Amino acid sequence: MNDGPVIHPTALVEDGAVVGDRTRVWHHAHIRSGATIGPDSTIGRNVYVDAGVRVGAHTKIQNNVSVYRGVDLADEVFVGPSAVFTNDRHPRAVSPDWVVTPTLVQRGAAIGANATVVCGIELGRWSMVAAGAVVTRSTQEFQLVAGNPARHHGWVCRCGAVVSREPAAPDPATLARCLHG
- What does the radius of gyration of the chain's CA atoms come to, in whole angstroms? 17
Name, in order, each residue with C-beta under 8 angstroms of 116's C-beta and a sequence gap of 6 or more.
Answer: 83, 84, 85, 86, 133, 134, 135
Give the separation between CA 108 and CA 147, rounded to whole angstroms.
21
Average pLDDT, the chain: 94
Q: Is the pTM above the cut of 0.85? A: yes
| Residue 29 CB-density burial (10 A; 0-12 exposed, 13-18 middle, 19+ buried) | buried
Q: What is the pLDDT of residue 172?
A: 75
pLDDT-derived band at 2, boundaries 50, 70, 90: confident
pLDDT in tens, 95-151: 888 899 999 999 999 999 999 999 999 999 999 999 999 999 999 999 999 999 999
Residue 163 vs residue 21, higher pLDDT: 21
On whether the CB atoms of residues 103 and 72 are closer than 8 A, the answer is yes
- Tell me how far apart the terminal alpha carbons of the chain are, to the nearest angstrom: 31
- Report the candidate in 166, 85, 115, 29 with the shortest Cα–Cα distance to residue 128: 115
Statement: residue 181 has pLDDT above 80: no
Average pLDDT of the segment spanning 87-99 = 91
Q: What is the pLDDT of residue 15?
A: 98
- Report the candidate in 7, 100, 107, 105 with the shortest Cα–Cα distance to residue 50: 100
Structural domains of the chain, with CATH: 6-176 (2.160.10.10)
pLDDT-derived band at 25, boundaries 50, 70, 90: very high
